[in-house]
Structure 1
């Protein structure tokens, strides 16, 4: 178990996994810095959380994670507003995609920019803060799809998440002997609007409650890497990473 982290920044907090993680951490009495493109959604969430959890502080900002200068500025502003940051959860992501070469490069490029370049910008901003204060917990939300390139419309999504996972692995190794901890989460299918639009297998899809419960539990333990939720997705993670392509081709 890691140190107590009382001031947590979450990107992509206006919906899905980010929104639900905000609810869980608010219920624990954590002060939150919440970022997303949709400020109106963040305002509604902030009001809900403060009513349910009086005494916590919540800072909100509209943020497009593909704007690097904005990411650096907003992270610094929110650190100052909360009086520090103990944990940053790099969660903002897109699930758009099309077969490569089918004339929808716009969707694929948007996903690549948000999911990988945007994640890199967030890591730059977070680690600048953590290096200065000499501690912190950086959480990267990747995906089980990072284990194996997925064909068709999910190709760029899986590639972008593989980049995030590799980045987390590199930072974990670099910072292993410091008080800056790096955790990479690899969620399987969890019921969100993004999952629904992606056409994920419903039989394998965990509820939002199950998925976020597993994510928050893993985050609090601060492991280097965690595939979730449950034994099922740990097994799928191992299969995709270690079985031959002739076998895994049937799974994707």
Structure 2
């Protein structure tokens, strides 16, 4: 099946980690990039780096805190007007703070829940409004292998939000089935980023560059749902679903 080339790509949370890594890969492919994040200084440095990689692409950056929901709609619309059309929007912004429920860390858990799901809902609304109007586009949500089941301690709320992202993505996909609008949900396995650089002894972890290359390849394929890197996560995600809870407790 021939996949449409998505020339203009918007990425949220693009100033570091997976967002930055994906932007670098897309720049090598000659794609125009609309990048937003809270840290404008990092975005400006990233823009320079991208134009060194490929001076023929167009790069635009804007400040955006995705928890400021009206700003999400404004920034997406500004990018759409600036580029004339947005072909793909990648909802990447997220966070991983948290602790076991009932241990006095409600604020950290709330922030993770609001950023990873409510703010993603705002981004999805803004993106799909644009795609519905132009009757074309590719929505990409970034979930996680942790979406397949519950985990303990700091992972509890994070995993729950990613399960919600996966479910939301499927619902949107069903809603626009048989239209020119495509929806993909990417489930990264363990990829080393600033969010987890303090965590030791993570099984099957890959560095940011390897992980982002796998993510971009999966995004380009425009499958409904995939786990990356495919080895070992295309297999391990099924094993995680049936692993006894006592084993999950020892792992997390």
Q: TM-score range by the shorter chain?
A: over 0.9
Partner of 2:104: 103
Q: Does 1:211 align with 2:242?
A: no
Q: 1:207 to 1:232 in 2, by over 3 A?
A: same
Question: Unmatched 5+ residue regions in structure 2?
Answer: none
Q: Per-residue CA shift, 1:173-205, capped at 9, x if unaligned? A: 1212111100000111001111224x2643320
**What is the deviation of 1:51?**
2.3
The alignment covers a number of residue pairs equal to 251
Q: 1:200 to 1:130 in 2, by over 3 A?
A: farther
Is the Cα contact below 8 Å between 1:189 and 1:195 reproduced in 2? Answer: no
Partner of 2:123: 122
RMSD value, Cα: 1.4
Is the Cα contact below 8 Å between 2:152 and 2:249 reproduced in 1? Answer: no
Q: 1:152 to 1:247 in 2, by over 3 A?
A: closer
Q: Does 1:94 align with 2:95?
A: yes
Partner of 1:169: 170
Q: Per-residue CA shift, 1:146-175, capped at 9, x if unaligned? A: 101111111011111111111111111121
Partner of 1:152: 153
Alpha-carbon separation, structure 2, partners of 1:242 and 1:4? 38
Q: Per-residue CA shift, 1:85-132, capped at 9, x if unaligned? A: 000000001011112111111111111111001110110000000000
Alpha-carbon separation, structure 2, partners of 1:228 and 1:242? 19
Partner of 1:60: 61
**What is the deviation of 1:32?**
0.4
Partner of 2:240: 240
**What is the deviation of 1:241?**
2.5
TM-score between both structures, scaled by the size of structure 1: 0.95
Q: Does 1:222 align with 2:227?
A: no
Partner of 1:188: 189
Is the Cα contact below 8 Å between 2:139 and 2:182 reproduced in 1? Answer: yes
Alpha-carbon separation, structure 1, partners of 2:216 and 2:118? 25
TM-score between both structures, scaled by the size of structure 2: 0.95
